[in-house]
């Protein structure tokens, strides 16, 4: 059964008020074709769950976002994502900030359909102060250790970008890092995968080892062939980050950037 869709099909399935998880990391392997598809819709009041990069910045600048849940929002070679920073400083969005480990445990909890997972991450830090809603739990065993109870980061929709996929939604990464894209796929009600190239299922193992088959078709609602679909972020080994375009994005007022394309 084919699950092939268009960018417009995926964007049209996202409704205002939804919680949307976006895979990748900073300015690396972000599903930018799908993000740009959302920019062309009237959707608003989204909650974004992301190891954030220009995905978060663009959607904030376009007025699509109510709340961001993230450990950071960065362009990697440019430390602070300027459009997100502006939205945050202007108070136009809400921001829930966890550290990277806590964020991962929130994804894990959602992926396993648990209400929370305990972790030491965050203890003794300002994460607890800036997130007064966080709670701690005590181990029921002899040690009685106090741990942070990280709530599940449940999502209505997840958007991820992989190097290769077949028409049934099996998806493969070929770069140096899987990031947490498989957790997004498991944690969301629906997951949509964009890829650099659609290939036959048998050809996936010609592209990389079996361990590179990160996402199973059972997790995927739709797959989109989108060559260059992570640009200007990196999608190694297919291409690196377009630093010139990223600098143009970061230094250009949002309305002008959108108009220039």
For residue 11, is pLDDT > 80?
Answer: yes
Residue 101 has pLDDT above 80, yes or no: yes
Q: What is the pLDDT of residues 218-227, one digit of tens each?
A: 999 999 999 9
37 φ/ψ sector (left φ>0, alpha ψ -120 to 50, else beta): alpha
Q: What is the mean pLDDT of residues 91-106?
A: 96
Give the β-pairing of 94-97 and 65-70: parallel
Q: pLDDT at position 76, please?
A: 96
pLDDT tens for residues 243-259? 999 999 999 999 999 98
- This prediction has a pTM of 0.95
Say what percent of the chain tops pLDDT 90. Answer: 92
Q: Where are the beta strands (DSSP E) in 30-145?
A: 46-50, 65-70, 94-97, 116-119, 135-138
* Structural domains in the chain, sorted by start: 7-116+153-229 (3.40.1080.10)
pLDDT of amino acid 51: 98
Mean of pLDDT values over 97-109 = 96
Share of the chain above pLDDT 70, in %: 100
Of the candidates 131, 202, 198, 138, which has an alpha carbon nearest to the alpha carbon of residue 171?
198
CA gap 110, 104 in Å, rounded: 10
User: Is 195 within 8 Å of 224 (Cβ atoms)?
Assistant: yes
Mean pLDDT for all residues in the chain: 96
User: Which is higher by pLDDT, 206 or 27?
Assistant: 27
- Decide: 237 and 31 in contact? Cβ < 8 Å: no
Q: What is the dihedral of CA 151, 152, 156, 162, to 10 degrees?
A: 130
| Local confidence band at 124 (pLDDT 50, 70, 90 cut-offs) | confident
Note the pLDDT tens digit of each residue in 34-75.
999 999 999 999 999 999 999 999 999 999 999 999 999 999
pLDDT of 171 above 80: yes
| pLDDT band for position 260 (cuts 50, 70, 90) | confident
Sign, Cα dihedral of 31, 72, 80, 133 = positive
Instruction: Give the residues across from 191 on adjacent strands.
Output: 158
What H or E segment, with its residue span, contains residue 35?
helix 32-39
Task: Give the pLDDT of residue 142.
Answer: 87
């Amino acid at each position: 059964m084919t699950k092939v869709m268009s960018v417009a099909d995926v964007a049209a399935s996202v409704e205002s008020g939804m919680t949307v998880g976006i895979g990748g990391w900073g300015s690396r392997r972000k599903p930018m074709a799908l993000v740009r598809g959302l920019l062309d819709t009237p959707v608003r009041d989204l909650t974004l769950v992301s190891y954030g990069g220009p995905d978060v910045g663009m959607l904030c600048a376009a007025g699509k976002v109510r709340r961001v849940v993230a450990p950071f929002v960065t362009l990697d070679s440019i430390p602070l994502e300027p459009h997100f920073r502006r939205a945050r400083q202007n108070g136009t969005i809400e921001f829930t900030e966890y550290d990277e480990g806590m964020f991962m445990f929130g994804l894990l909890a959602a992926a396993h359909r648990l209400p929370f997972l305990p972790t030491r991450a965050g203890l003794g830090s300002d994460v607890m102060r800036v997130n007064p809603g966080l709670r701690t739990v005590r181990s029921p065993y002899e040690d009685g250790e106090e741990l942070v109870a990280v709530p599940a980061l449940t999502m209505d929709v997840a958007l991820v970008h992989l190097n290769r996929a077949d028409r049934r939604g099996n998806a493969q990464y070929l770069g140096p890092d899987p990031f947490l894209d498989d957790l997004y796929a498991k944690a969301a009600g629906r997951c949509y995968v964009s890829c650099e190239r659609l290939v036959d299922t048998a050809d996936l193992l010609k592209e990389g080892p079996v361990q590179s088959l990160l996402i199973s078709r059972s997790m995927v609602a739709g797959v989109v062939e989108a060559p260059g679909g992570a640009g200007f972020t990196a999608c190694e080994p297919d291409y690196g980050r377009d630093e010139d375009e990223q600098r143009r994005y970061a230094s250009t007022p949002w309305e002008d950037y959108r108009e220039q394309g």
